[in-house]
Amino acid sequence: MAEMMFWGFAVRFLTSLVQASPFILVGFAVAAILRRFFGPAETRRLFGEGTRSALFRAWVIGMLLPVCSLGAIPVIREMRRAGIRGGTILAFAMSGPLFNPLSLLYGLTLSEPIAILSFAACSLVIVTVVGLVWDRMFPDSALPPADERAVAYGYRRMLAVGTAGGREAASASLLYILLGLAGAGLLGAIIPANSLQHTFNYDNPLAPLYMTGMAIPVYATPMLAMSQLGMMFQHANSVGAAFVLLVLGAGMNIGIVAWLYREYGFKRGTTWMVLLLSVVLALAYGVDQPLFPKDIEPANHTHAFDIYCQPFSGTLNTSYFEATKHKLQRDISPFEWRPLWIFGLLIFSGVVLKMADRSSKLESWLEAAPPKQISGRIDIIVPGPILGLLSLAGLFAISIVGCFAYYPAPDECLEAMTDTRVGALSAALAMDHMETKYWAERYDEWTRKLEAGAWLRHRELSDYHRWKARLLREQLEILEHEVEDREREEVVQLVSRIYRTHVRLRRAYTEEF
């Protein structure tokens, strides 16, 4: 049992770390940009510190930047350093990880896209209500702004941004990030495999409460949280529980909670958590029935939450080490490791810098450099805040461009779906449940990428095309259950039916747009 818990922790921890790495790198980049391009004064101005629009600005900026709840940690630490009030900081921390262009496009593939728009509006209500009340109760939550001189324009300013990112990566931010990942690992160690199949059914009035208890230690990237929402709507699970999973599972983690209590103390931290959970649960029960999908037959169980449970069950035919290695190789694509190596390099550079320059002489040299004289008419001095705004806009633009790479054209999606279809149907005919589940999940994911990719390129997606993809997903779900129940005759019939559905789907997306 102890060995299974250890390797369950390792699988969930490492998987979450790899998935989080790109968003964490963005978080460190944003924190460095705020420190060196904006500076404390302009950072406060950017977030509207002291104005009525501060909470709304934090919500908007958070929605535009591609960060996750772990990537938000270095950003909120920099906001705290700049002297911004706690309500605004925590508003960004909650809204930043919830939505970005990639996850919003994924939301278009849900059976009820209006639910995502409603969830986004509810997130604004949460950060506004909780932030206003908390700031009213604790008006002196801001620290004095850090006293830091600007760096002169030129290569030194760029070097200063890299230096700030490296030092932050080797700071307490890393400890809070590891603590957040540990929450996901602990769930994978202690929650038995397949034990959440009935917990969040639509007819369970306690489903949002149960999800609240699980969601805070959960770590979910915006894309993972959105895919979970997709499965919850596909199975007609509790909408209230889905809302809690998005807000707390994607928006919070144990690292942020620890930072909250460390910075603001027990009383203020507990007040924030009580306010947050009260508003979230009130909204969860408020949207549970109005947003429930009316055209879907509720399922009596789901495997949507297996990702938060122990990854191993039953007796293994090999050692846990080999099983872990095999699972990581299958669940993580080779290219997904690259951001992790970059993250590791950033940490290494920060550690070396701290050890070699404990007194921050490099920063003193950067700040002491005199302004360079302009030598030509075409030379233009670009102020740091302008560069900062351009950099943040560039991150947003990259995420938009990334949508076209993450959601390929329909022809490319259909080609990939052919491979996953062969894998899923072959495994089903062999009555191999684990292989069927593995390939069916990837087949399902490609149907959603197909929808989002088609919408990106045609700016529309008819109900006809939605239903073609939805029918295929429903049949895949049934196939997985029939293989699990060892119903071979039904499996053979479903395999033939899924093949025909796939052919009709291909025709719809290639010839009938």
Same domain, 287 and 427: no
Same domain, 336 and 415: no
Q: What would the mean pLDDT of 266-282 be, rounded to a whole number? A: 93
pLDDT, the chain, mean: 86
Residue 375 resides in a domain:
no
How far is it, in rounded angstroms, from Cα 336 to Cα 324?
A: 17
Same domain, 353 and 419: no
* Res 80: pLDDT: 94
* Res 374: pLDDT: 59
Same domain, 425 and 359: no
Q: Is the pLDDT of residue 469 over 80?
A: yes
Same domain, 431 and 390: no
* Res 57: pLDDT: 92
Same domain, 386 and 432: no
Same domain, 136 and 209: yes
Contacts of 248 (CB under 8 A, 6+ apart): 211, 212, 215, 216, 218, 280
Same domain, 392 and 414: no
DSSP string, 288-349: HTTTS-TTSPPPS---TTGGGS-S--S--SS-HHHHHHHHHHHHS-GGGGHHHHHHHHHHHH
Which of the pair, 168 or 145, is modelled with greater confidence? 168
Q: What would the mean pLDDT of 191-209 be, rounded to a whole number? A: 83
What token pair was written down for 49?
């510190």
**pLDDT category of residue 112 using cuts at 50, 70 and 90:** low
Percent of the chain's residues with pLDDT above 70: 94
Same domain, 199 and 242: yes
Same domain, 218 and 247: yes
**pLDDT category of residue 231 using cuts at 50, 70 and 90:** confident
Could you read off the pLDDT of 383-440 as tens digits, one per residue? 888 888 898 888 888 888 888 888 899 999 999 999 999 999 999 999 998 889 889 9
Question: Is there a contact between 217 and 184 (Cβ–Cβ < 8 Å)?
Answer: yes
Q: Is the pLDDT of residue 224 over 90?
A: no
* Res 416: pLDDT: 92
Q: What would the mean pLDDT of 267-291 be, rounded to a whole number? A: 91
Contacts of 160 (CB under 8 A, 6+ apart): 36, 151, 363, 366
Q: Is the pLDDT of residue 43 over 90?
A: yes
How far is it, in rounded angstroms, from Cα 25 to Cα 29?
A: 6
Total domain count, the chain: 2
Question: Is there a contact between 34 and 388 (Cβ–Cβ < 8 Å)?
Answer: yes
Residue 310 resides in a domain:
yes
Q: Is the pLDDT of residue 301 over 70?
A: no
Q: Is the pLDDT of residue 303 over 80?
A: no
* Res 401: pLDDT: 84
Widest CA span of the chain, in angstroms?
A: 82
Q: What is the CA radius of gyration of the chain?
A: 24
Provide the H-helix boundaries in 357-487. Answer: 361-368, 384-406, 410-429, 433-458, 463-484
Question: Is there a contact between 85 and 141 (Cβ–Cβ < 8 Å)?
Answer: yes
How far is it, in rounded angstroms, from Cα 305 to Cα 128?
A: 30
* Res 369: pLDDT: 63
Residue 164 resides in a domain:
yes
**pLDDT category of residue 358 using cuts at 50, 70 and 90:** confident
* Res 44: pLDDT: 93
**pLDDT category of residue 176 using cuts at 50, 70 and 90:** very high
How far is it, in rounded angstroms, from Cα 500 to Cα 506?
A: 10
Q: What would the mean pLDDT of 249-254 be, rounded to a whole number? A: 89
Same domain, 207 and 62: yes
**pLDDT category of residue 236 using cuts at 50, 70 and 90:** confident
Q: What would the mean pLDDT of 213-226 be, rounded to a whole number? A: 84
How far is it, in rounded angstroms, from Cα 466 to Cα 234?
A: 13
Beta bridge partners of 237: 201
Domain residues for the domain of 465 are: 409-511
Residue 304 resides in a domain:
yes
Phi-psi region of 238 (alpha: psi -120 to 50; beta: other; left: phi over 0): beta
Q: What would the mean pLDDT of 247-263 be, rounded to a whole number? A: 92
Which of the pair, 313 or 330, is modelled with greater confidence? 330
Q: What would the mean pLDDT of 287-308 be, rounded to a whole number? A: 75
Helix or strand or coil: residue 432? coil
Residue 173 resides in a domain:
yes
Same domain, 171 and 316: yes
What is the CB neighbour count within 10 angstroms for residue 222? Answer: 26
Maximum mean pLDDT: which of 110-114, 176-180, 217-221: 176-180
pTM for the model: 0.89
CATH of residue 496: 1.20.120
